[in-house]
Amino acid sequence: MTQSITKIAAVGDLHVKEDATTPYRDLFSQMSEEADVIVLAGDLTDLGKPAEARLLADDLRGCGVPVVAVLGNHDHQCECVEEVSAILREAGVHLLDGTAVELKGVTFAGVKGFIGGFGRHMLASFGETAIKAMVTESLNEAIKLENALRQIRSDRSLAVLHYAPIPETIMGEPLEIWPFLGSARLGETIDRFTVSAVVHGHAHHGAYEGRTPGGIPVYNVAQHLEKPAGRPYAILEI
Using left for φ > 0, alpha for ψ between -120 and 50, and beta otherwise, residue 188 falls in alpha
Task: For 81-96, write each residue's pLDDT tens digit.
Answer: 999 999 999 999 999 9
Average pLDDT over residues 120-143: 93
Quick one: CA dihedral 95, 153, 10, 28, positive or negative? negative
Q: Which residues pair with 10 in a beta bridge?
A: 39, 234
Task: Tell me the longest C-alpha to C-alpha distance in the chain.
Answer: 57
pTM of the model: 0.96
Amino acid 61: pLDDT: 85
Superfamily for domain range 7-237: Metallo-dependent phosphatases (3.60.21.10)
Average pLDDT over residues 167-180: 96
Amino acid 30: pLDDT: 94
